[in-house]
Structure 1
Amino acid sequence: MSTQRFDIRHAPAPRESFRLLYISKSKFGGDWNSTTHTHSCTELFYCLSGEGQFYLSGQLFPVKPDDLVIVNPQVEHTELSLNASPLEYIVLGVDKMEFLFNRADTSYAIFNCRENRERMVTLLHMLLAEADRSLDGCETVCQDLLEVLLIWVVRCTTLSLQLEEAPRTENRECAEVKRYLDANFREDVSLDLLAEIAHLNKYYLAHTFQREYGISPITYLNRRRIEESKHMLGNTSYSLAQISELMGFSSPSYFSQCFRKAEGMTPNEYRRQTRQGKRPAPTKRHEV
């Protein structure tokens, strides 16, 4: 009998604070709408097949099978595929972790992992299967597999990990949309227009804006209009129809509906209470 024994002389490192947020497998089709965007987490893309390009911080980089694309938080990016050879990849979103690259001013990188394809693809498909089944202990298994995967990424590259949580920064696209709404709330504004301004899919924009500010873009727009209308109700003699038109509402009835929902009373009731001294007349809001 032949035996090989290996003693583990060191205690395992403490469990890390980073966490797998999501994992998905995608293949480009004719209906793919590629738009640039950012995330508050780190993303890792493993290209399984096909060819395409990655747009990263204003530059285009070709990608091919077994390329690993690493994108740190708040890096503007998107994926582009060649129609003749549709790009297929698995992507992971990891929270509370960033990669440290050789250059301090770099927030993304692309590595080819062909020599380690079998190991990498096996781990990724195990992660996908575990997340898909969602059995008891799924979160623990996914975390274990993620840590093994990241160890292999570090071993196969010249990278290291930064596990301290970086200070949260405001999403750039959401901040741009918010500034636009503050400056143009009297205009005819739609979610499609805001998505065009931010260069984002409108559903992704609505989700990200809600996560960033706790309110949808259109609800924020209406609240902004309501605040200005309160000033006009308390300090001018404009009719409801005039105020509705000046504030960009589609009709006086929609204005009244939004006002009642926000303030718990009709615009006329608000005006009457203000004039009777039951509530102070609001001052005009100034943007800094």
Structure 2
Amino acid sequence: MPYQQYNFKPQTFDAQKKRPDLRLLYISHSSYDKTWPSVLHSHPFTELFYVLNGTGTFQTETQTFCIAADDLILINPHVMHTEFSNGDAALEYVVLGFEGIAFETDGHAPITCLCKNVKTIRPACLFYTRSLIQELHDRKENYVEMSQNLLENLLYLIRREIRVTPEAVSVGKTSQECRMIEQYINAHYAETITLDTLSALTFHSKYYIAHAFTKYKGISPINYLITRRIEEAKSLLEHTDFPVAKIAQAVGFSSQSYFSQAFRRETTLSPDAYRRQFLS
């Protein structure tokens, strides 16, 4: 093979363009079939949703579209969204959460949620997402710097492929403890959770947690927990024939009567009346 050399010609640095204060929050790898209940939710940060296998439906407050392998969805902050698996095959996907940037079109038109198929760069997407998972799992020396660089490289690749522009957005003074509480409740809503539980989780007093979370979310942590349980219960009432007592237990209520009272307070309907709306 003849000798080849490619000289690097960096672009002139523009001091006016500051590097975004991009920060990786998490990466998750999930696989759910059609029985998994999912509800609309939002985050105060940006998410990248990459489908590995299976088919499903992605939904926002204004859009509903089909998704399949190698579809990549960009979800800007505060956009309500959820996903559902189609058929018996599980929908397998990776989700990255990060703050510091949001996306808009190359023409600087704002977007809420954008879906593009990126089959042509599948090997690179798999490399970066798997490498990120490995780095955060192993937590070896300099894993933070490695993870940040992997995320930036992935976003540069996406920018090149689907022609979107990442724009810096200010990262508010959102309490890390409040984000931790929100994520904990979302993951463990079916378990017994009290202010004592959350106090032990964050090493802060119950008073501080109640006050800080209410300021962060606009709702107290216990009321957020109840609302989260009610949303899951609504999905089960709509999509299953489970008895009301079983649903109450499945979403974390201590009794059917307490569940019915909370459900009526949130929806003005009893669980049975709510279910009847969806019977054919």
TM-score, with normalisation over the residues of structure 2? 0.59
Corresponding residue of 1:90: 94
- State the distance in 1 between where 2:219 and 2:69 align: 39
Give the conservation status (yes or no) of the 8 Å contact 2:34–2:90.
no
Contact 1:46 1:91 in 2 (8 A): yes
* Matched residue, 2:202: none
Unaligned ranges ≥5, structure 2: 175-184, 199-211, 227-280
Residues 6-40 of structure 1: per-residue CA shift (max 9 Å, x gap): 22434778653111100010000466220110000
Q: Which residue of 1 aligns with 2:268?
A: none
> In structure 2, what is the Cα distance between the partners aligned to 1:216 and 1:56?
25
Contact 1:209–1:217 (8 Å) recurs in 2 = no
Please list every run of 5 or more consecutive structure 1 residues that lacks an aligned counterpart in the other structure. 170-194, 222-288
- Are residues 19 and 110 of structure 1, via their aligned partners in 2, closer, same or farther at CA, if it must alter by over 3 Å? same
Q: 1:162 aligns with which of 149, 159, 167?
A: 167
CA distance in structure 2 between the partners assigned to 1:98 and 1:105 by the alignment: 9
String of CA shifts for 1:205-245, please: whole Å, max 9, x gaps: x88956536952359x9xxxxxxxxxxxxxxxxxxxxxxxx
Contact 1:111 1:157 in 2 (8 A): yes
- Provide the residue aligned with 2:137 in structure 1: 132
The one-letter amino acid of 1:203's match is Y
Show the counterpart of 1:203.
189
Q: How many residues align?
A: 191
Secondary structure of the corresponding residue to residue 115 of structure 1: helix
Q: Partner residue of 2:125?
A: 120
Taking the aligned partners of 1:50 and 1:148, their CA distance within structure 2 comes to: 26
> Which SS does the other structure have where 1:94 is aligned?
strand
Counterpart amino acid of 2:45?
C
Q: TM-score, normalised by structure 1?
A: 0.58
Matches within 5 A, 1:45-194: 45-101=49-105, 104=109, 106-165=111-170
RMSD across aligned C-alpha pairs, in angstroms?
3.4
- 1:27 counterpart = 2:31: yes
Q: Deviations over 1:91-131 (max 9, x none)?
A: 00011210013583531100000111111111111111111
- CA shift for structure 1 position 164: 3.0
In 2, Cα distance between equivalents of 1:75 and 1:64: 21
Do 1:35 and 1:201's aligned partners in 2 also have CA atoms closer than 8 Å?
no
Cα distance in 1 for partners of 2:19, 2:145 equals: 11
Aligned-partner Cα distance in 2 for 1:163–1:65: 29
Distance 1:103 1:85, change over 3 A: farther
Letter in 2 for 1:108: C
Instruction: Give yes or no for contact 2:46–2:76 (8 Å, CA) kept in 1.
Output: yes
Q: Which residue of 2 aligns with 1:261?
A: none
1:204-243, aligned counterparts within 5 Å? 209=213, 211-212=216-217, 216-217=221-222
2:46 is matched with 42
Taking the aligned partners of 2:111 and 2:4, their CA distance within structure 1 comes to 48
Structure 2 Cα separation of the partners of residues 76 and 107 of structure 1: 9
Displaced runs of 4+ in structure 1, greater than 6 A?
166-169
Name the % identity: 29
